[in-house]
Amino acid sequence: MFQGKIVRLIAIEKRPEEALDALCAHYRVERPTLRIGLPKGEKRALGCYVHKERTIYMSSEEYLFDPYVLIHEFYHHLRHVDGKHRGTERHARDFALSFLRNAQRSGDRLL
C-alpha cells in the first residue's frame, strides 16, 4: 500500500517531491536535495546520488517521473544516511523493483 502510493505519486500524479517527502518520513531520514541535470563527470546515467552533497540528480525531467530511477537513487541516500553503505547497484535495483512489484500487486495502474 505504501509502496503503491509512492509509485503513484511519482508516475501518475507527477509529484516526485511529495513522494520523496513520504519516503523520508517513512524511513525517518533527512530529505536529500533533488535536482535535474547530472553533476560533472556523469554523462550516461539516468540518475545518480552524490552523498557528499546529499543530492539526487536526475538526468532529465522525464526521469524525475520514473519511479524506478527515483526510488533506486533514494536507496543510495538511505544507505549513506544510516551509515550502512551497502549501496550496491544490485541492492538499489531490488529495492526499487520491490516498490514496482508491490504497486502492481495492489492494483495500482502505473500508466
Residue 74: CATH number of its domain: 3.30.2010
C-alpha cell of residue 81? 544516511
pLDDT, tens digit (0-9, with 9 covering 90-100), for 58-70: 999 999 999 999 9
- Reported as type and span, the H/E element at residue 52 is none
| Residue 108 pLDDT > 60 | no
| Residue 111 pLDDT > 50 | no
In a domain, 65, yes or no: yes
| Residue 84 pLDDT > 90 | no
To 10 degrees, what angle do helices 89-105 and 67-81 make?
Answer: 130
In a domain, 51, yes or no: yes
Q: What's the domain range around 99?
A: 2-104
| Residue 79 pLDDT > 60 | yes
Higher pLDDT, 25 or 88: 25
Burial 65-80 (b: 16+ CB within 10 A, else e): bbbbbbbbbbbbbbbb
| Residue 110 pLDDT > 70 | no
Higher pLDDT, 107 or 2: 2
In a domain, 109, yes or no: no
Q: What is the pLDDT of residue 66?
A: 98
- Angstrom distance (rounded) from CA 63 to CA 59: 7
* Count of domains observed in the chain: 1
In a domain, 110, yes or no: no
In a domain, 89, yes or no: yes
In a domain, 88, yes or no: yes
Chain centroid to CA 55: 11
pLDDT, tens digit (0-9, with 9 covering 90-100), for 8-65: 999 999 999 999 999 999 999 999 999 999 999 888 999 999 999 999 999 999 999 9
